Amino acid sequence: MARTQETKSSGLKKWLARILAPPRFQDEEKDRLARVLNITLLFGFIVAVLTATAAAASGQPGKAMVIAATAVTSLLLQVPLRLGRIRLTIVLSAILMLTLVISLLVIGGSIRDLGSMLFPVIIACGGLVLRPKEFLVLVFLTLLSAIAIILLEVGGLIHPPTGFDINIFNLLTVASIFLLAAVPVRLLANDLKRNIDRARQNEQELRASNEMLQREISERELADSALRESETRFHILADSTFEGLFISENDIIIDANSSLAKMLGCEIKEIIGRNVSDFLDRETAEIDLQQFKSESRTPYEHQLKRPDGTLIPVESRNKMIPYQGRLVRVTTSHDISERRRHEEEYRIMEAEIRQNQKLESLGTLAGGIAHDFNNIISIISGHAAALADKLKKHPEARATLHTINEAAERGSAMVRQILTFARKSEADFRSLQIRELINELVKMLRVTFPRTIEINHTCLQDLPPLWMDPSQMHQALLNLCINARDAMAGTGKLEIATSMIDGEEIACRFPAAEGKRLIRIRISDTGVGMDEATRCRIFEPFFTTKGRGRGTGLGLAVVYGVVKAHNGFIEVDSQIGRGTSFLLYFSAAESPASLTAKADLDTGLIAGGSETILLVEDEEDLCELLAAVLHDQGYGILVAHDGLEALERYRRHRGDIQLVITDMDLPKINGAAVCQAILSSDPKTKIILISGFLETALKNSILASGVREFLAKPYTMPQMLQIVRRVLDGN
């Protein structure tokens, strides 16, 4: 119940507040006048009600009726006021007040009635709310009504209270009072209006200034927000790039990104505030600063220096940009260490490709001439061996034959060098100790080299074995030592040393060495040395600095071929007048082994036989020599000069032939096809295949198909006879 009463009371208060509240308008002057009029009408209503009540109580019903009518009219004037008709409401209010005064004075019977006190109130209120012309009209009407009351009283139409006498002097007095009241009121109203206008203008100016200031503040806030957002975006972009970036002003770094700090190996705070030259290589700083200050956007390469002194190759670009109201320089630096490494690898690979192309060209040449050379050498050595048996009692002739044999051996060695260099000689790889091979080499050098050359060698005892072909390795090391001897012109020091290194030490020059354990063989001399132009060509085939007839230009080329065949690396360090050092790197083998010397061929008495042999050889002289040697040993010989003839003779004499000896390179059908055709018809046929060179895979395939032996050219007659006997005696 109490809550219901409180709710009703609250609702009544809200209704009264809504009724009593003045109307609101957008125009400030109109809104001010509405507030004044609303208060005036409300208070006029209250005063009129109280006055009417007092008049009725005092026995003046006429006054009570007039005042009550005024109270009702004041309420009615709220209608035009709330409709926004302010000027109409003001005029009607003035007329209402003037009518009320006139009515009270007429009913009261004299100008001296209390109601006449409302005249100055009317003039004062009119001066505050009416415009000048409207105010003059109101003053005139007020004065006119007062004069009219006085005239009516003087004329006797209105009976004044007893004891009061009205005359013309009173009229003039009232008019003067009205004028004296109207002038200061108007002056006060005008001054008040001017002050109000001035205050309003100031307020408008202040409001405009405030609005402008608010706009400026908003714009500044937007600009600051955009600047912060831009700086945040800049730092995000700068830190997300892989390139080092810094901003500098007058060569002083004022900002940098994390990529640059990471590149330099320090914190960003250690970079900001430093001079650009602090991070440049001292030797090239002046040139780098000139590039740095240039306006060209072309990238340039230089080196940045870390706090620890390490130099980093970078590629940089510069650009001038506005930054916080001033021009600054933005520099980006890209670490090109990896690119440099790839370029070096590419350069090495390109050099190797060029070298391999030369090897291929020489290999093609070697493959073409090795067969003929081997045949010629085999003929020479074979006939020399045959003559040696017949001229045992002629020492002078045997000396000549010995010279012929030595020449044949040199020719054979030349062919082997060519084939080794061209990687067309068959390698016999085994896990061997390099120490033992070098010890044997040094023994030979000390016997053959001049004693004026000092030979020193140092080999570690615990070196792991190498996977190598001992003959090729011996040939390569011997060639290097011979070159060192020639470079020292008969006097000097030759040093051979071995050591173990980690492949990481040379991975920058030879990327394939990375992750390997390497044995390094160093051969140094104190000779004349080489210039850069010579050093770049030493591995080229047939390139030599020796005089005519003193060198073939294949020694170092053979060394290069051997090293590559062993998947090794080779580099040269040489200066004019300071000697030369060759460094050979080979991967260590994983299983221990010992160097095994190849058994010498027994050159003693070789048993002959009576078996029939089919000899297939296209070289006429060599064929005759082989046939004669085999015939002297008691064998029956059938000869064929090409593949088709060999197959035809085999078909005719199949039952009589116990052994087939065939060369690989034959006209019409090669030796491999001959072997395949014979073995397909009779797998038990014994065959010896002869060739200057066969790829390992092809050789293994031929041997797996049933061929009993493979004999490499050039060969000696004792070697041939031993192999023939071994194959015939084998099952």
Q: What percent of the chain has pLDDT over 90?
A: 6
Q: For 639-683, how does the pLDDT look when each residue is reduced to its tens digit (9 = 90+)?
A: 999 989 989 999 998 888 999 999 888 888 888 899 989 888 888
pLDDT at 504 over 90: no
Q: State whether residue 361 is helix, strand or coil.
A: helix
Q: State whether residue 62 is helix, strand or coil.
A: helix
Looking at residue 169, its pLDDT comes to 47
Q: For 286-316, how does the pLDDT look when each residue is reduced to its tens digit (9 = 90+)?
A: 777 777 777 666 788 888 888 888 888 888 8
Q: Which two tokens stand for residue 99?
A: 């009518």
Q: Give 594 or 650, the one with higher predicted confidence.
A: 650
CATH 3.30.2350.10 fits 427-587, yes or no: no
Q: State whether residue 394 is helix, strand or coil.
A: coil
Between strands 326-335 and 244-249, the pairing is antiparallel
pLDDT at 729 over 60: yes
CATH 3.40.50.2300 positions along the chain are: 612-729
pLDDT at 521 over 90: yes
Looking at residue 133, its pLDDT comes to 75
Q: For 60-69, how does the pLDDT look when each residue is reduced to its tens digit (9 = 90+)?
A: 788 788 878 8
Calpha distance 355→557 (Å, rounded)? 10
User: Which CATH class, in words, describes the domain spanning 612-729?
Assistant: alpha beta
Bridge partners, residue 571, by sequence: 583
Looking at residue 637, its pLDDT comes to 92
Q: For 232-263, how does the pLDDT look when each residue is reduced to its tens digit (9 = 90+)?
A: 766 666 666 767 878 888 888 888 888 888 88
CATH 3.30.565.10 positions along the chain are: 427-587
Split at pLDDT 50, 70, 90, the class of 164 is very low
User: Are 465 and 589 in contact, with CB atoms under 8 Å apart?
Assistant: yes
Looking at residue 426, its pLDDT comes to 56
Q: What percent of the chain has pLDDT over 70?
A: 74
Distant-in-sequence, close-in-space partners of 62: CB < 8 Å, separation ≥ 6: 107
CATH 3.30.450.20 fits 241-335, yes or no: yes
Looking at residue 698, its pLDDT comes to 77
Q: What's the average model confidence in pLDDT over 60-84?
A: 83
Split at pLDDT 50, 70, 90, the class of 599 is very low
Distant-in-sequence, close-in-space partners of 250: CB < 8 Å, separation ≥ 6: none
Q: What's the average model confidence in pLDDT over 142-154?
A: 72
Mean per-residue pLDDT over the chain, rounded:
77
Q: For 351-402, how does the pLDDT look when each residue is reduced to its tens digit (9 = 90+)?
A: 767 766 766 676 666 666 666 777 777 777 777 777 776 766 677 776 777 7
pLDDT at 323 over 50: yes
Looking at residue 108, its pLDDT comes to 67
Q: Which two tokens stand for residue 722?
A: 């031993």
Looking at residue 659, its pLDDT comes to 92
Q: Give 696 or 687, the one with higher predicted confidence.
A: 687
Looking at residue 594, its pLDDT comes to 37
Q: Give 403 or 609, the one with higher predicted confidence.
A: 609
Calpha distance 182→189 (Å, rounded)? 10
CA 349 to chain CA centroid, Å, is 25
CATH 3.30.450.20 positions along the chain are: 241-335
Q: Poorest-confidence range of 135-139, 497-501, 635-639, 718-722?
A: 135-139
pLDDT at 605 over 80: no
Q: What's the average model confidence in pLDDT over 54-62?
A: 79
Phi, psi of 556 (to 5 degrees): -75, -30
Looking at residue 585, its pLDDT comes to 93
User: Are 432 and 470 in contact, with CB atoms under 8 Å apart?
Assistant: yes
Q: State whether residue 84 is helix, strand or coil.
A: coil
pLDDT at 175 over 70: no
pLDDT at 91 over 70: yes
